[in-house]
C-alpha cells in the first residue's frame, strides 16, 4: 500500500513539474530566464541536484551552458564541449539519451564544470533536445537514486517530455529573434528613408516647413498638416513618426475619405464581440493598432459630425470605447491629422466642431503647393527621372529647355502629378533626350495651367442652358475629385440627394472611377 501511495505522489509531482514548465516556457521569449526557471522547477519538484541546458554556439559550434541550476557563474563558463566530446558531446552527436549510474566510475564523464568534487554515487542523465529530427541541444541533470527518491525510468520519461517542450520553445525563440532583427533592420531603413535630409526641397518656403517638422518631431503633440492634394502630407506624417521616440512602434494610416460613413467608427475604435449581428469576435480598431505609435488621420475634414465628439474625447482624455462596450480603452497613440480643406470655413458652415478644430490645431504645418516653390521643380524632376530610369531600365534625360518649361507649369496636382508625369514619360518616350517639343501639349504651351475649376468656367461661352450644364458638370467633377470619387459625400457637398447626383453623372457621361 505504501509503495502505491509513493508511486501516486511521485506521479503527481511529475505532472506538477510538467505543468509548471509548460507555463514557464509560454510566459515570454526570454531564453536564459525561462530555461533557468525550467531547471529550478526540475530541482524543486523532482529533487534533481543540479542540471543545465546546452545549446551550440552559432560561431564556434561548441556546446555551451545557456541555463543551469546548482552551478556558479564560473562553473557555467567552464562548461563547454565540442561535438562528440564527453557525455554531453556524445549525446548531441548520436541523438540518443545516456544514463550514467555512477559518474565516479565513468572515465568518459569529463566534469568540465568542476562542480562535483565528490562524484561517487551521483547519477547523470543526458537527453537530446530534438525537433523534427534536428538535434538542437541537450539537457542534463544529476540525481542520487534511493528507494525513496524515484527511479531512472520515470526521470527519463519526464526529461524527454521537458526536452520536447524546450525544443519547441527554442525554435519559437529563434523565429522571434530573427523576426525582431528583420523588423529592426526594416525600421532602420524606414528611419533613413523618412529622414528630413531625404525630403527634396531647397526653396525658402519649403525649408520653413522642414524646420517646423524638425522641431515638432521629437514631441508627442498633435500635428495638423494642411495643404492641397498631392503636396506630400503623408510623407511628412511618416517623417514625423520615424524621427520621433515612437519610431519602433506602429504607424497606422487611415484615409477617412475612402471609408463609408457607417464604417468609420468601427474602423477607428473597434467593435466588441456581440455588439451587433455578425460581430462574432472582438475587432481591433485603428487607435488600438497604433498603441504607443502614431495614427495618421488623413482627410480629417471628412470625419462625420457625430464622431467628431468621440475623437475630441480621445485627444483630451486619451480614452474611448469600442462599439458595444462600456469599458474605456486608453489610447497612447500620437495623432497626426491632415486635410486639404479650410477647416475654419467648415466650422463656419457648421460641418466641423470648433472645439475639435482648436484641439487638432496645436501645431499646424502648412505644406505649400508646388507652384509656390517653383525652384524645387528641377530637383524633383531630377529625382524622379533617376528613380524611374532605375525602375524601368531606361536612360532618359531632360534638356534644359524642357526643364525650364516644366518649371513654368503650375502643377495643379502638385508632386503627385509631377511624379506620375515623369513615370509615364519614362515608360512611353521613344528617345532618351527629352526636349520641350516632346512634352505633352498642356505642359509645352506657354499658357499657365488652369486652377481646379474657376479658369475652366471662365473659358468659353455658350447658350445660357448649355453654359449652365457645363458649369454644373465641372462642379460635379470637382466635387468627385475632392471626395476621391465617393458619390455619397460628393452629393452632400453639392447639396444634392445621391439619386440626383447619380442622374447627373449619367446625363453628363462622367466616370467617377477614372476621376
Domain 454-507 has CATH 1.10.10.60: yes
Q: 169-173, long-range: CB within 8 Å, 24+ apart, which pairs? A: 169/25, 169/26, 169/34, 170/31, 170/55, 170/129, 170/131, 170/136, 170/137, 171/131, 171/136, 172/29, 173/29, 173/31
Q: What is the pLDDT of residue 449?
A: 44
Model pLDDT, residue 117: 54
Looking at residue 456, its pLDDT comes to 46
- Greatest Cα pair distance, the chain, in angstroms, is 114
170-182 tens-digit pLDDT: 898 888 888 877 7
Which residues make beta-bridge pairs with 398?
434
The percent of residues above 90 in pLDDT, for the chain, comes to 30
Give pLDDT, residue 486.
Answer: 80
Mean pLDDT taken over the chain = 82
Backbone angles phi, psi at 331, to 5 degrees: -115, 120
| pLDDT tens by residue, 33-78 | 888 888 888 877 666 777 888 898 877 778 888 888 878 888 888 8
**Higher-confidence position of 156 and 151:** 156
pLDDT of residue 46: 65
Poorest-pLDDT segment among 122-131, 291-300, 308-317, 427-436: 122-131
Mean pLDDT value across residues 187-194: 64
DSSP tag of 283 = B
Q: Where in the chain is the domain with CATH 3.30.450.40?
A: 2-177
In the chain, CATH 1.10.10.60 covers: 454-507
What residue ranges of the chain are covered by domains with CATH 3.40.50.300? 195-366
Beta bridge partners of 98: 126
pLDDT of residue 175: 86
Provide the pLDDT for residue 144.
63
| CATH H-level, domain 195-366: superfamily | P-loop containing nucleotide triphosphate hydrolases (3.40.50.300)
pLDDT at 445: 55
CATH topology of domain 373-444: Helicase, Ruva Protein; domain 3 (1.10.8)
For residue 297, which of 267, 332, 262, 263 has the smallest C-alpha distance?
Answer: 267
- Residue 256's pLDDT is 92
How confident is the model over 221-280, as pLDDT tens digits? Answer: 999 999 998 899 999 999 999 888 888 899 999 999 888 888 899 999 988 887 776 677
- Report the alpha-carbon distance of residue 245 to residue 241 in Å, rounded: 8
Cell numbers representing residue 143 in the block: 540525481
What's the confidence (pLDDT) of residue 197?
64
Query: Which fold is adopted by the domain 2-177?
Result: Beta-Lactamase (3.30.450)
pLDDT for position 48:
75
**Confidence band, pLDDT 50/70/90 cuts, at residue 152:** low
The whole-angstrom separation of Cα 149 and Cα 261 is 70
Amino acid at each position: 500500500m505504501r509503495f502505491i501511495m509513493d508511486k501516486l505522489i511521485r506521479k503527481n509531482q511529475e505532472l506538477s513539474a510538467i505543468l509548471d514548465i509548460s507555463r514557464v516556457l509560454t510566459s515570454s521569449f526570454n531564453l536564459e530566464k525561462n530555461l533557468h526557471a525550467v531547471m529550478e522547477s526540475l530541482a524543486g519538484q523532482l529533487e534533481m541536484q543540479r542540471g543545465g541546458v546546452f545549446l551550440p554556439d552559432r560561431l564556434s559550434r561548441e556546446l555551451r551552458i545557456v541555463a543551469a541550476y546548482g552551478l556558479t557563474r564560473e562553473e557555467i563558463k567552464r562548461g563547454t564541449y565540442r561535438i562528440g566530446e564527453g557525455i554531453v558531446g556524445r549525446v548531441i552527436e548520436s541523438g540518443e539519451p545516456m544514463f550514467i549510474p555512477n559518474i565516479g566510475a565513468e572515465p568518459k564523464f569529463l566534469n568540465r564544470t568542476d562542480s562535483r568534487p565528490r562524484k561517487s554515487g551521483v547519477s547523470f542523465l543526458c537527453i537530446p533536445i530534438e525537433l523534427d529530427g534536428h538535434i538542437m541541444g541537450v539537457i542534463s541533470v544529476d540525481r542520487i537514486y534511493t528507494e525513496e527518491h524515484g527511479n531512472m525510468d520515470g526521470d527519463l520519461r519526464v526529461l524527454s517530455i521537458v526536452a520536447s517542450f524546450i525544443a519547441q520553445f527554442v525554435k519559437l525563440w529563434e523565429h522571434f529573434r530573427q523576426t525582431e532583427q528583420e523588423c529592426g533592420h526594416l525600421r532602420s531603413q524606414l528611419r533613413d528613408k523618412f529622414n528630413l535630409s531625404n525630403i527634396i526641397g531647397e526653396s525658402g518656403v519649403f525649408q520653413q516647413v522642414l524646420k517646423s517638422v524638425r522641431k515638432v518631431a521629437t514631441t508627442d503633440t498633435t500635428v495638423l498638416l494642411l495643404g492641397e492634394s498631392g503636396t506630400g502630407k503623408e510623407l511628412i506624417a511618416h517623417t514625423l513618426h520615424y524621427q520621433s521616440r515612437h519610431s519602433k512602434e506602429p504607424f497606422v494610416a487611415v484615409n477617412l475619405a475612402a471609408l463609408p460613413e457607417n464604417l468609420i467608427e468601427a474602423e477607428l475604435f473597434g467593435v466588441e464581440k456581440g455588439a451587433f449581428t455578425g460581430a462574432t469576435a472582438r475587432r481591433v480598431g485603428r487607435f488600438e493598432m497604433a498603441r504607443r505609435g502614431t495614427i495618421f488621420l488623413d482627410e480629417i475634414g471628412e470625419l462625420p459630425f457625430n464622431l467628431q465628439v468621440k475623437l475630441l474625447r480621445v485627444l483630451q482624455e486619451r480614452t474611448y470605447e469600442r462599439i458595444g462596450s462600456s469599458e474605456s480603452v486608453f489610447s497612447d497613440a500620437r495623432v497626426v491629422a491632415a486635410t486639404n480643406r479650410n477647416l475654419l470655413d467648415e466650422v463656419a458652415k457648421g460641418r466641423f466642431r470648433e472645439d475639435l478644430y482648436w484641439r487638432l490645431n496645436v501645431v499646424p504645418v502648412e505644406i505649400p503647393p508646388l507652384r509656390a516653390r517653383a525652384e524645387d521643380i528641377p530637383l524633383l524632376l531630377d529625382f524622379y527621372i533617376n528613380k524611374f530610369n532605375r525602375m524601368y531600365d531606361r536612360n532618359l534625360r531632360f534638356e534644359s529647355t524642357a526643364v525650364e518649361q516644366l518649371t513654368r507649369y503650375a502643377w495643379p496636382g502638385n508632386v503627385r502629378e509631377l511624379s506620375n508625369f515623369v513615370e509615364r514619360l519614362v515608360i512611353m518616350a521613344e528617345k532618351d533626350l527629352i526636349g520641350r517639343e516632346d512634352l505633352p501639349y498642356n505642359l509645352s504651351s506657354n499658357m499657365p495651367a488652369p486652377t481646379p475649376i474657376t479658369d475652366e468656367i471662365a473659358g468659353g461661352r455658350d447658350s445660357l442652358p448649355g453654359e449652365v450644364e457645363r458649369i454644373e458638370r465641372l462642379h460635379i467633377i470637382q466635387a468627385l475629385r475632392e471626395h476621391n470619387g465617393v458619390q455619397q459625400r460628393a452629393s452632400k457637398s453639392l447639396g444634392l440627394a445621391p439619386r440626383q447626383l447619380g442622374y447627373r453623372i449619367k446625363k453628363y457621361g462622367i466616370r467617377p472611377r477614372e476621376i
